[in-house]
Structure 1
Amino acid sequence: MAEQDEALLARVRAMEQAIGEIGTTLDETNTCRELATFLVRRLGGSVVVDLAAEQGVPPRRAATARLSSESYPSGSTLSAALAVAEDGKPLGTVTATRSGGVPFTAEEAATVHHAARLAARHIGHARRLAATEDTALHLQRALVAEPGRPHPNLEIAGGYLPAGVRTLVGGDWFETVRLHFGRSLLVVGDVMGHGLDAAVDMNAYRTVLREVAATDLPPHRVLRHLDSVVAEDDARRPATCLLVRVDPARSTATFANAGHLPPAVFGADGSAALVDLPVGPPLGTGVGGYEPTTLPLTPAETLLLFTDGLVERRGEDIDVSLARLAALRLPPDPGPHQVVDEVLRRLGAHRAEDDVAVLAARVRARPTA
């Protein structure tokens, strides 16, 4: 009876050790390495872990481990399937080999099967989470990457980066709306907060904005109308928004700002300058008070609209953050695509703590006779 108790206690200890050492990250290859290392320490010999691939493709060797005194000879071999508990489909196999013909005991076999099941659960969870994140990210990018088409006389480029893999979706967006007489409305907005609720509100803002902008109201009146509509719905989160109506025929841009950061203009020499604009309250407050500002915008200049994730850094004053953007010097004559790529790279936007949405635009030069 004492021997049975001791064996049961040893099995429990092995299970506790496996739980603490296998599946410490969401990386399936690392989980396989942890599985192999754990089993080698418990059993000796050598252990290999193979992950199944799609049908017709050989399994992938994900991890190997062995004692320094062991080679890969033939001997006692024990295999266990890495099976997913939900549907029973094998993710792969773990194979333990011990030279000298020393057989594995029942307790050792139980340890291998328990560790394999534990690793399989972690791998299955990681894959399901990765699939969910991939779906959410594609949804977010589809929402922000399919703006309306501006007139052909305006060249644009946009980009969106999520705030890391755990955030999934957010409330940043950009938009373009084609207006009468060759003009186009450029929009960038940021709904407060993150997650699915922010993304839903973001899509609602875009929908209302498209309807209001289609009436061809000036930008400040578009903001005023959008603010009043959203303020009537208490469930909607506030949002910042910047509108720019570009008129290529007159080489002008008319701005209206609802609590958003100012845009930047890159000149033909690659230098940047922030646009000084009056700032009204965020959308959804019902306060209104938006003012228009009309400035020249020539074909030699590229306008950049962006959300705060591009420049803001934790613990840093926003003026310092904006000054970093204004200090950029790009190669001469940067077009919209180059501006987007260079700004995202130079400001480290891929490591930003918040969502990043950017929209760059340049008036196409008229062909000379």
Structure 2
Amino acid sequence: MAPDTPPPRWLFPAEADTTGGADEEAARAREHRLLRNVLEGTAASVFVLDPQLRYLYVNPAMARMCGIPASAFLGRTIGDVLPEVRRPEDVLRQVLADGLPREVSVTGRTHARSAYAQRQWRTVYHRLEDGGRIVGLCGIGVEVSGLRQYVTELEAAHQRLALLDTAATHVGTTLDVETTCTELADFLVPELADAASVEITEEEAGGTPPPAPGMLRLRRMALAAVPELMWHLARFGEPGDHVDVQRGSAIRRCLDTGQPWVGNLASDELLRRMAPDPGRVTAYRAAGIHSLLVVPLPAPQHPVGTIILSRAGESPPFAEDDIVVVRELAARAAVTVSNARQYTHEHAMALELQRALLSEPGSPHPDVETASRYLPAGRSALVGGDWYDSLALPDGRTLQVMGDVMGHGFAAAVAMSQYRSLLRTVATSGASPAAILERADRDAARIGLDRVATCLLALIDPGAGTVTAARAGHLPPVLLRPDREGELLDVPAGPPLGTALCGYEAFTARMPPGSVLLLYTDGLVERRGVDIDVSLRWLTRLRLPLAGPLDGVLDTLLSRLAEGPAEDDIALLAARLRRDPA
């Protein structure tokens, strides 16, 4: 509107229609006051626009909502008065064109202060007519910023829950500390950061020089980054490296207080205070990193480590929601890391005990050659109770022993040592294999061993060239022969040791020169989905070179395992008569 054009007179006529007399004029005046009181007393924002979308009228609620007086609107367009409010003017022109009311969502900011960074209104527009002539639009709006913020926060909460649910299936899939940390770092990138590293506190020096006085030693367990940052990771070290952090650093404070630290758009000085060492700042800047978030991995006594997240380039700084999600992820991952560390410690103890017991088997007679192998199923499996032994008896015979305690873990390894000692004591009597099992079964039940065990005894008599075997719930031995299939010895099956059921029988077979007697645990032949008889036939049909050292025979056997990694521990004990006894 031109500056010299007076604002249009609007809504309530200044001149009264006197054709109806004084009473009608008074009635219209009362109506005028009533309508004006309604418009100016309502909490809804009411305004009127002319056909060119210039303000003709705004009520006090509209003025308060916008933070400017009503007079500042008159004769000006929406963009002139509220430049930061996005209003769909194409919809307003459609209302002017067809006269159909429409409701639209209007967002933006006004001049008034507000608790909401982004405000939103729902506004209904009606076309105004006077005697068939279009004179403008009337808009009635209500602010819904609070509802919109609630919906936004609810959606964000749902997204956080979905992210945490996904993390539950991707992080902590094994009882292995390194694997868990790697899964955590890989999950955080790129969901919540451009780069992530996981460090845990180092419990033992592990043969490396101790940290300098005042420094705390961590071990970097995992690193992950988006592709464009991958080549920068070399400057931050590699998984397995030690990280010594000084007092006063953000990492140290997180570990001491258990609270996260965030450095958004951090200055060089702030990064120097945060970094494990001041020289790291150059590497941060070279990678374009502008924001860092350090979150502790909480534990009941003290955090077990930290997560360090970085954002670089055009990625936004860390928001409060990001911190909430990462803290929850850290809490869940910390439980897995703590459990994995405890498991690793117990697993190592049990494995060392088992290996110590297996590392010094008894010695056979000089005319019997033996070899053994013990192969744990893997880091993800609990150690078992497998054992083997070779005992030289006074009459020139050698007793081969193979056993397997039911169950896994430290308790199984302890029970294994008890069974091994018990059999060594009973075997000195010189009894037959079946009689040895009978007495061992009764003694195990009498002393209260709480775990049963399978066992196979094979008594080798070099003078007679025979082997006599008896078994307590164990798989039968295999006699491997040169240039032909092996033979599964038909040893009658008896109950496991520790049941006090007894009832063992022996079986005697010839042991020709050059043949190899193989005792083994079920880990060698048991495979998920494969019948045990099929696996045993596979074992007998192996054509192994038997002329060389026995250690080589066992190595060749293990290399030919057909079904990939074993699902249980494997123990092997092989025996062969020497052609020229010492």
Query: Given the two structures, how large is their TM-score scaled by the length of structure 1?
Result: 0.79
2-structure distance, mates of 1:293, 1:108: 70
The structure-2 alpha-carbon separation of the partners of 1:298 and 1:63, relative to structure 1 and needing over 3 Å to count, comes to same
Q: Which amino acid aligns with 1:169?
A: V
1:177 aligns to 2:391 (yes or no): yes
* Matched residue SS, 1:359: strand
1:25 aligns to 2:173 (yes or no): yes
RMSD: 3.8
By how many angstroms is 1:179 displaced? 1.4
* Correspondence for 1:51: 199
By how many angstroms is 1:303 displaced? 0.9
Unaligned runs of 5+ in 2: 1-114, 116-145, 212-216, 233-285
1:159 aligns to 2:373 (yes or no): yes
Deviations 1:259-294 (Å, cap 9, x if unpaired)? Answer: 432211222337422223344444344454434444
Equivalences for 1:145-224 in 2 at 5 Å?
145-162=359-376, 165=379, 167-195=381-409, 198-224=412-438
The structure-2 alpha-carbon separation of the partners of 1:67 and 1:281, relative to structure 1 and needing over 3 Å to count, comes to closer
Contact 1:80–1:113 (8 Å) recurs in 2: no
* Correspondence for 1:78: 292
Deviations 1:104-147 (Å, cap 9, x if unpaired)? Answer: 44454555555455544544443333333333333333344432
Q: Which amino acid aligns with 1:128?
A: Q
The structure-2 alpha-carbon separation of the partners of 1:116 and 1:80, relative to structure 1 and needing over 3 Å to count, comes to farther
Contact 1:230–1:283 (8 Å) recurs in 2: yes
2-structure distance, mates of 1:101, 1:311: 54
The structure-2 alpha-carbon separation of the partners of 1:210 and 1:89, relative to structure 1 and needing over 3 Å to count, comes to same
The structure-2 alpha-carbon separation of the partners of 1:216 and 1:90, relative to structure 1 and needing over 3 Å to count, comes to closer
Equivalences for 1:1-369 in 2 at 5 Å?
2=146, 12-13=157-158, 15-22=160-167, 23-26=171-174, 27=179, 28-40=181-193, 46-49=194-197, 51=199, 60=220, 62-66=222-226, 74=288, 76-88=290-302, 91-99=305-313, 103-116=317-330, 118-162=332-376, 165=379, 167-195=381-409, 198-232=412-446, 236-269=450-483, 271-348=485-562, 351-366=565-580
The structure-2 alpha-carbon separation of the partners of 1:354 and 1:291, relative to structure 1 and needing over 3 Å to count, comes to same
2-structure distance, mates of 1:214, 1:192: 25
Q: Which amino acid aligns with 1:180?
A: P
Contact 2:229–2:287 (8 Å) recurs in 1: no
Contact 1:245–1:253 (8 Å) recurs in 2: yes
Contact 2:311–2:317 (8 Å) recurs in 1: no
By how many angstroms is 1:329 displaced? 0.5
Matched positions, count = 363
By how many angstroms is 1:36 displaced? 2.6
* Matched residue SS, 1:254: strand
The structure-2 alpha-carbon separation of the partners of 1:192 and 1:327, relative to structure 1 and needing over 3 Å to count, comes to same
Contact 2:515–2:546 (8 Å) recurs in 1: no
By how many angstroms is 1:244 displaced? 1.5
**Stretch of structure 1 that moved more, 50-59 or 83-92:** 50-59
* Correspondence for 1:43: none
* Matched residue SS, 2:225: strand
What's the % identity of the aligned pairs? 39
Query: Given the two structures, how large is their TM-score scaled by the length of structure 2?
Result: 0.53
The structure-2 alpha-carbon separation of the partners of 1:98 and 1:300, relative to structure 1 and needing over 3 Å to count, comes to closer
The structure-2 alpha-carbon separation of the partners of 1:219 and 1:106, relative to structure 1 and needing over 3 Å to count, comes to closer
Contact 2:527–2:563 (8 Å) recurs in 1: no
By how many angstroms is 1:186 displaced? 0.6
Q: Which amino acid aligns with 2:183?
A: N
1-structure distance, mates of 2:422, 2:287: 70
**Stretch of structure 1 that moved more, 11-20 or 205-214:** 11-20
By how many angstroms is 1:249 displaced? 4.2
